[in-house]
Every structure is written in C-alpha cells, then in structure tokens.
Amino acid sequence: MRDDSLYIEVGKAIQIIQLADQAFKRVLLMVFPGKVFIDLETFQKNDKILDKATLGRLVAILKDRVVLNGGFENVLNKYLADRNSLIHNWNEIEGWDEEAKAIEFTVSVQKKAAYLCYTFMGFLRAWIDQVGIEGIDEQFPEGAPFFATIDSEWKDMINEFVEETKTT
C-alpha cells in the first residue's frame, strides 16, 4: 500500500500545472493576441475562448501566432504530453505501479510546469514594461520575490523562445 507521498506530489503538480496553464492563457490573450482588439466585447470573447480551450488547443494557437524556437517547442510539446498523461491517463504511465517511479514522473511534470510558468510570466513582465503599465508590483507586494526572480532571470531570456511573431 502506498503512503501519501505520491498523492502529495500529484497535488503539487496539479497546482503548478494550473498556474502554468493560466499564465499561458494570459500570454495568448495579452502578449500574443493574434490580432488587434478594437473593442472590449471582442477582447472578452477571445478571453472566453481561451478559458475554454484545452492545453493542446492553446499550444496550437501559440504556434499559429508565433514561430517558436525549436528547443522551446520541444519543451512545450513534452510538457503537453506529460501533463496530459498525468491528468488524464496516469494509469498508463510506464512504471506508475512503482511508487518511486510514479513520484519521479510527477516531480518531472512539476518541474516542466514551473519552467513554463516562469517563462510565461517573463513574457508578461516584458509586455508590461513594453506597454508602460505601472504600479503592478505595488498592487501585489506578496509577489515581490517571485517578480524579482522573473525580472532578473527570465524577462530578458524570452527572446530565446520565440523566433518571430506572425501577423494576421
């Protein structure tokens, strides 16, 4: 019988996955919208579409809007496959019946999700600077350590992930 270690790791993975997926949606909505929104209604409609989209659909939308660096595309595709395995088909993961292997797989998904969360937040922070939004840090002082990490280590790296933006 398993102890609670695996279930704790799965719970952590789900939390980080949710953060990464939400950050991804915000990037698609704000940073790479695919078109210029001329009114609030169109913006809100796009927001609802993204909220209902599967992760696979979000990846496809991103690829329609930007040319990804090959390495980043591979990371994104691997995350998609592993995340979907953990969420939808955990019982089909090789070695899932061995607790150590199941935990190892789950922790690897956590790391991929955290990496993407930092990446997407880097895109958002760079976009915030580009459009000149001020006062974000003051509104969320509890996020200061996280934002400091994004600003010092990730924000300037985002150019490595996207080759070019496609226009529609």
As a whole number, the mean pLDDT across the chain is 89
Whole-number pLDDT of residue 136: 81
For 40-158, where are the E strands, in sequence order? Answer: 66-68
Query: pTM value?
Result: 0.87
Q: Rounded distance, CA 33 to CA 42, Å?
A: 11
pLDDT higher than threshold 70 for residue 2:
no
Answer for the pair 162, 66: CB distance below 8 angstroms, yes or no.
Answer: yes
Q: How many residues does the chain have?
A: 168
> SS3 helix, strand, coil % of the chain, rounded to 5?
75, 5, 20
Q: Rounded distance, CA 45 to CA 43, Å?
A: 5
pLDDT higher than threshold 50 for residue 142:
yes
pLDDT higher than threshold 80 for residue 44:
yes
Could you tell me the two tokens for 70?
């090959």
Whole-number pLDDT of residue 151: 84
Q: Residue ranges per domain, the chain?
A: 10-165
What lies within 8 Å, CB to CB, of 82 at 6+ separation is 105, 108, 109, 112
Whole-number pLDDT of residue 163: 73
Ramachandran region of residue 31, left (φ > 0), alpha (ψ -120 to 50) or beta?
alpha
**Chain centroid to CA 12:** 15
pLDDT in tens, 45-80: 989 999 999 999 999 999 999 998 888 999 999 999
Closest CA to 80 of 100, 62, 98, 104: 62
Number of H helices and E strands in the chain, helices first, is: 7, 2
